[in-house]
Amino acid sequence: MEHKEDFCNLGFANIDIDRKSRRGYSEVIYCPGKSKAQLKKIARELIKNKQDLLLTKLEKDNFSYLKKSFSKLRYKALAKIGYLVKKTKVRKIGLVAVVCAGTSDIPVAEEAVVTLELMGNRVVKLYDVGVAGVHRLMNNMDVFKKAKVIIVVAGMEGALASIVSGLVSCPVIAVPTSCGYGANFGGLSALLTMLNCCSAGVAVVNIDNGFGAGYFASLINK
């Protein structure tokens, strides 16, 4: 194993141990495509170098495997996030609102929420307030006025981000989800709608990327 001041070469992965000082948060492990053994070696190296541990899209069986080696590892099943972090000090200023269109979109929204909380943000959740019953959204204007940044998670046609952005003064991060019928094309229709949003002030992350939205919102909130 090659070890330099700012990264560790495991042969199959270069672990960026300088990222926390450079970006404010340790390197995060994206789990799909990695074997159990690879996840274990990466996690061990991060812990060895006093880095926080955050694993995204982590399946329950992989968590159970890792738990045997890292007893303090915790798991949020709905968000599919595993984590082992030092106690996070929550910032008193700056509220992030996570808005979810439908119940089927909640797992992606929870990925954003858990990411935000682990990074020390105050979070408020507004779930199942999609465009099919827009009055549910309008009843929460007091929350929107307090938010410094808003994450909007929606599948189907993904129109919710445009509506929210048109009502608020803060930045909006839109997250398309793969929830929808055939012509949704696994989230592509929602992605295109959000990219074509006519309301200025909307940034769009990739399909089902709740973590990316939470990370970006945390940077804005800082």
For residue 101, the domain's CATH number is 3.40.50.1970
pLDDT digits (tens, 9 = 90+) for 74-98: 999 999 999 988 776 666 678 999 9
Residues 7 and 79 reside in one and the same domain: yes
Q: How many helices (H) and strands (E) does the chain have?
A: 9, 12
In what helix (H) or strand (E) does residue 97 lie, and over which residues does it extend?
Answer: strand 95-100
Residues 80 and 112 reside in one and the same domain: no
| C-alpha of 106 from chain center | 12
Q: What is the pLDDT of residue 98?
A: 96
The CA distance from 118 to 36, in Å, is: 24
Residues 100 and 210 reside in one and the same domain: yes
Residues 130 and 188 reside in one and the same domain: yes
Q: 3-state class of 112 per DSSP?
A: helix
Query: For residue 218, which amino acid is it?
Result: S
Tokens coding 165: 């952005």
Q: 3-state class of 25 per DSSP?
A: coil
Distances from the Cα of 65 to the Cαs of 31, 46, 54, 57, 185, in angstroms?
13, 17, 15, 15, 34
Task: Tell which phi-psi region holds residue 186, choosing left (phi > 0), alpha (psi between -120 and 50) or beta.
Answer: left
Residues 78 and 105 reside in one and the same domain: no
DSSP H helices, 24-86, are: 36-48, 60-67
Q: Quick check: 69 pLDDT over 60?
A: yes
Residues 125 and 204 reside in one and the same domain: yes
Mean pLDDT, the chain, rounded, equals 87
- In the chain, what is the greatest distance between 2 CA atoms, to the nearest angstrom? 58
Residues 180 and 201 reside in one and the same domain: yes
Residues 205 and 99 reside in one and the same domain: yes
Q: What is the pLDDT of residue 28?
A: 85
What percent of the chain stands above pLDDT 70? 95
β-bridge pairing 81-84 and 53-56: antiparallel
Residues 200 and 132 reside in one and the same domain: yes
Contact 113, 126 (CB under 8 A): no
pLDDT digits (tens, 9 = 90+) for 128-149: 877 767 788 777 888 888 899 9
Q: What is the pLDDT of residue 88?
A: 66
90 lies in a domain?
Answer: no
Number of structural domains (the chain) is: 2
Residues 80 and 144 reside in one and the same domain: no
The CA distance from 66 to 182, in Å, is: 36
Contact 66, 40 (CB under 8 A): yes
Count Cα atoms within 13 angstroms, Cβ side, for 130.
18
Domain that holds residue 207: 95-221
pLDDT digits (tens, 9 = 90+) for 176-193: 999 888 888 989 999 998
Query: For residue 160, which amino acid is it?
Result: L
Q: What is the pLDDT of residue 25?
A: 79
Residues 40 and 107 reside in one and the same domain: no
Task: Tell which phi-psi region holds residue 219, choosing left (phi > 0), alpha (psi between -120 and 50) or beta.
Answer: alpha
| C-alpha of 84 from chain center | 16
Residues 9 and 50 reside in one and the same domain: yes
Q: How confident is the model at residue 5 (pLDDT cuts 50, 70, 90)?
A: low
Average pLDDT score over residue span 23-50: 87
